[in-house]
Structure 1
Amino acid sequence: MNEFFLVNNRSITIGDINIRQLCMHNFDEWGLAAQAVKGYLKGHSDEINGELLKAHTSHVFTLLSKSTHLDETALISIAEASESLLIQLVGAMIKVNDAFFSEKESKRKSRRKSQSKNADQANWFDSFQLLIESGHHSADIMQMTYGAFISYLKAAQKQRSQNLLTNTHLMRAAQHAKDKAYAKLTDELKPSDD
């Protein structure tokens, strides 16, 4: 899905069922289920089929209930009536939440996992803090979809890196500048009154 799909919190409709993006405010309710399904898809073909439903029934129902207006009872009724419709819904749910399901685990992230469980908790707060420093509000972050959250986080990390690089260049230029050149550099960096 593209950035505008993520930012606008768009959805896909199959029949009269609207499949939405999973949001950050209830990540604790769907994160483990999504991780289990993602692990299954990683080890098997990306094709959604009855084997996924059998291997991870409760996880699939949890994810569908969080991304649709249906409760688990309604989902069980759909599964009993038409497995092909349920497979379509699961495929759409994975497609809509592609930011999570196609996300690759970085080597840095796996090193952090092995260090301690507390590092993961701190990581979420660190991520939120980075977004807050970039101008987002905590309540807004919680209402973001997972895809939008990750995209904004990557943009904030990129901006932070660019700012550090710029500051490094300025420090080096200031260190090697003569008095007049340093004064000229600082004058150029001051905001203009225009």
Structure 2
Amino acid sequence: MNEFFLANNRSITIGDITIHQLCMHNFDEWFTAASEVKKYLKTHSDEIDTRFLKAHISHVLTLLSKSAHLEESALISMAEASESLLIQLVGAMIKVNDAFFSEKESKRKRRRKTQSSEVDQISWFDTFQFLIESGHRHGDIMQMSYGAFTSYLKAAQKQRSQNLLTNTHLMRAAQHAKDKAYTKLTDELKPSED
């Protein structure tokens, strides 16, 4: 899905059922099920079929209940009535939440798993604080879809790196500047009064 799909928290409708993006406010409720489905898809190249449903029906029902905002009992009734509809819904749920299902594990995360020191571990609160420092509010972060959350996090990290690089260049320029050149540099950096 494209960036505007993620940013606007859009959904897909199949018949009269709307499949929404999975959100951060209930991340703890859907993450385990989504991880199991993701592992399966990694080795079975997006095969959504009867074999997949039988192997992961509890995970599928959990994910569909979170993304379609339906009770699991209603989903069970639908699955019993039409397996093809269930397969369509699962396909749409995976497509809408492509940001999670196609996400590759970064080398940094793998390194973090192997470290034994808890001091170096980054918590969800650290991640949220990073986004808050970038101008987001806690309530807004909790309502973000997972895709929007990860995209904003990447953008904030990119901005932070750019700011650090700019600051490094300015420190070096200031260190080597003569008095006049330093004054000129600081004057150029002051906001204009237009």
Provide the TM-score with structure 2 as the length reference: 0.96
Q: What do the CA deviations read for 1:62-115 (whole angstroms, capped 9, x no partner)?
A: 000000132111111111111111010000000000000000001111111222
Find the counterpart in structure 1 of residue 126 from structure 2.
126
Letter of the structure 2 residue corresponding to residue 80 of structure 1: E
Moved more, 48-57 or 28-37: 48-57
- Cα distance in 2 for partners of 1:117, 1:52 equals 38
Kept in 1, the 8 Å contact 2:112–2:121? The answer is: no
Find the counterpart in structure 2 of residue 156 from structure 1.
156
- Structure 1 residue ranges without an equivalent (≥5): none
Find the counterpart in structure 2 of residue 65 from structure 1.
65
Moved more, 116-125 or 80-89: 116-125
Find the counterpart in structure 2 of residue 13 from structure 1.
13
Gap change, CA 1:92 and 1:164, over 3 Å in 2: same
- Structure 2 residue ranges without an equivalent (≥5): none
Partner SS, residue 122 of structure 1: coil
Partner SS, residue 33 of structure 2: helix
The within-5 A match list for 1:72-111 is: 72-111=72-111
- Cα distance in 1 for partners of 2:139, 2:157 equals 20
Find the counterpart in structure 1 of residue 183 from structure 2.
183
Q: CA RMSD in A?
A: 1.5
Gap change, CA 1:134 and 1:183, over 3 Å in 2: same
- Measure how far apart 1:160 and its partner are: 0.2
- State the identity as a percent: 82
- Measure how far apart 1:120 and its partner are: 9.4
Provide the TM-score with structure 1 as the length reference: 0.96
Report the count of equivalent residues: 194
- Cα distance in 2 for partners of 1:154, 1:29 equals 24
